[in-house]
Amino acid sequence: MTLLDPIVRQRHAPTRSGFVVEEPDRFLFRVARRAFTEEAVLEAERRNIFDRCWLYLGHGSEIAQNGDYLTRSVGGREMVFNRDRGGAVHAFLNTCPHRGATLVREPRGNALAFQCFYHGWAFNVNGRFASRYAEGNYGEGHYDGGCADLTPAPRIEHYRDLYFINFDRDAESLEDYLAGAKEYIDIVADHGADGMEIVGGDQSYFINANWKLLAENSVDGFHGVPTHSTYFDYLQEVGGVRMGGGGDVAAAFRGAMKDLGNGHAVIEYPSPWGRPVARWTPAWGEDKRELIEQGRARLIQAHGQERGLRMAEYSRNMVIFPNLVINDIMAVTVRTFQPLAPDRMAVSAWALGVRGEDERVRALRLFNFLEFLGPGGLATPDDVEALECCQKGYRNLREAPWNDISKGMPRGAGARTDDEEQMRCFWREWDRRIAEGPVKVAGGAV
């Protein structure tokens, strides 16, 4: 076989960016590994994707009180996310309008005003310049037009207390952008009669891999059993597995996949694990059973038999293009990731819980979260290992230039959770935005 695979040579059908090859008649979908390794690709992503898509900033519960603020890196910018004294929520670029110094240097807190330590310019928490200098320091009209005010993100909008920003002033509305993902955000947001809240801090860590590898991995039902066999061994051992179908873990994962539009996708499947919101498992002990059953009954009462059971029994992994994941699994995690380099990303992950839930359920939620998720969980470190191994493997891309993302294509619209259609949804949107955005990058495999 030559370096150019005969399939590609004969039936080369690149999509617009040249990085994705989709051949429906051959049930073939491939992505050039260059898309994971090149600085030019990342630059195109920054301008064509991160400057134009709605990016997750934070949850309203993280700035619950007037005056609360936190700082966060989003889309290559340093942001301040805060609630002003009147309760309005803002997203400011964390830079002093005077000479550019980082304005807010605490990770979080509550403030009546922000003041730059460098020269002392001060701002109300609604972003307005608040210093008053004696006449003669600045010319008349210097403050007019907001040139001394904090610079806000061009757009900030929220859906079910999830706040997003967009650096494209002309972008479509957040709700239009979220499209079909709204239904699944609703399912999570409706876990709590009084809404949801971020629980007790974040897990922030780094992965030496391209950011798109985590987008793929987060909704990848195919890798679950082979990569995480030791997690399922653990579940079996402690009595944490509860499922029909005769104990076949792989079969239990076979639910449905849905294209949510705009690059978003979800897989939904019967849960093999316990869910503190409403699905008891023997590992938690009989003493917790009634408590969890009450949660289940409450969901069914509030949302009807069909939707209530779906909320209680099923798990969902959702990617919202480009870099937000909401996984409603053995706990609920909200996860976002920012590219730092083609081969490195920063990850932030949170636990989302029912606002005002019983403290025993809260404790169980956090305990259950850690059995799988996060840098010390019994599964996520193996995902990190897999992603870093992929990145290392791409050093061979001149001779081995393609990723294969074809699984389940013959099933068409009946794609299963352990197929790869959800990743194809992501890649089609990535391909469109890379091709249509202002920064052009030469496509192709090598």
Partner 1 sequence: MSGESANLPQRAEVEDFLYAEAALLDDWRLDEWFALFAPGAVYEVPTAGAPDDDDPTKSLFYIADDYVRLRERVVRLGKKEAHAEYPHSRTRRSISNVRVLGREGSIAKVACNLLCHRARAGKVDTYFGHALYTIDTTGDGWKIRSKRVMLDMDLLYPGKVSIIL
Residues that bind partner 1 (CB under 8 A): 199-208, 227, 229-231, 233-234, 237-238, 350-351, 359, 362-363, 366-367, 369-371, 374-376, 378, 380-382, 384-386, 388, 392
Q: Which is nearer to partner 1, 120 or 200 (CB)?
A: 200
In Å, how far are 31, 149, 165, 385 from 428, measured between CA atoms? 10, 40, 23, 26
CB 313 to partner 1: min, Å: 24
Where helices occur in 219-358 by DSSP H, the ranges are 224-227, 229-238, 249-252, 289-313
Return the number of the residue (45 or 357) whose C-beta is nearest partner 1.
Answer: 357
Report the distance separating Cα 336 and Cα 319, nearest Å. 10
Closer Cβ to partner 1, 240 or 295, answer by number: 240
CB of 381 to partner 1, least distance (A): 4
Cβ closest to partner 1, residue 100 vs residue 200: 200
In this complex, which beta carbon is closest to partner 1, that of residue 151 or of residue 227?
227
Select 226 or 438, whichever has its Cβ closest to partner 1: 226
Identify which of residues 103 and 351 has a Cβ nearer to partner 1 in the complex.
351
For the bound state, the minimum distance from the C-beta of residue 247 to partner 1, rounded and expressed in Å, comes to: 19
Helix (H) or strand (E) holding 162: strand 162-166
CB of 384 to partner 1, least distance (A): 5
Give ∠ CA 323-325-329 in degrees, rounded to 5.
165
CA angle 11/16/18 to nearest 5° reads: 65
| Shortest CB 391 distance to partner 1, Å | 11
**Which CB, 25 or 359, lies closer to partner 1?**
359
Q: Which of 44, 51, 43, 88 is nearest to 66 (CA)?
A: 88
Smallest gap from Cβ 140 to partner 1, in A, equals 44
Residue 220 CB, shortest distance to partner 1, in Å, is: 15
**Phi and psi based region of residue 409 (left: phi greater than 0; alpha: psi -120 to 50; beta: remaining):** alpha
- Return all residues near 252 (Cβ < 8 A) that are at least 6 apart: 243, 244, 245, 269, 270, 271, 272
**At its nearest, how many Å lie between partner 1 and the CB of residue 331?**
10
Cβ-contact 171, 177 below 8 angstroms: yes
* Cis peptide upstream of residue 6 (ω within 30 degrees of 0): no
Place of tokens 């010319």: 139
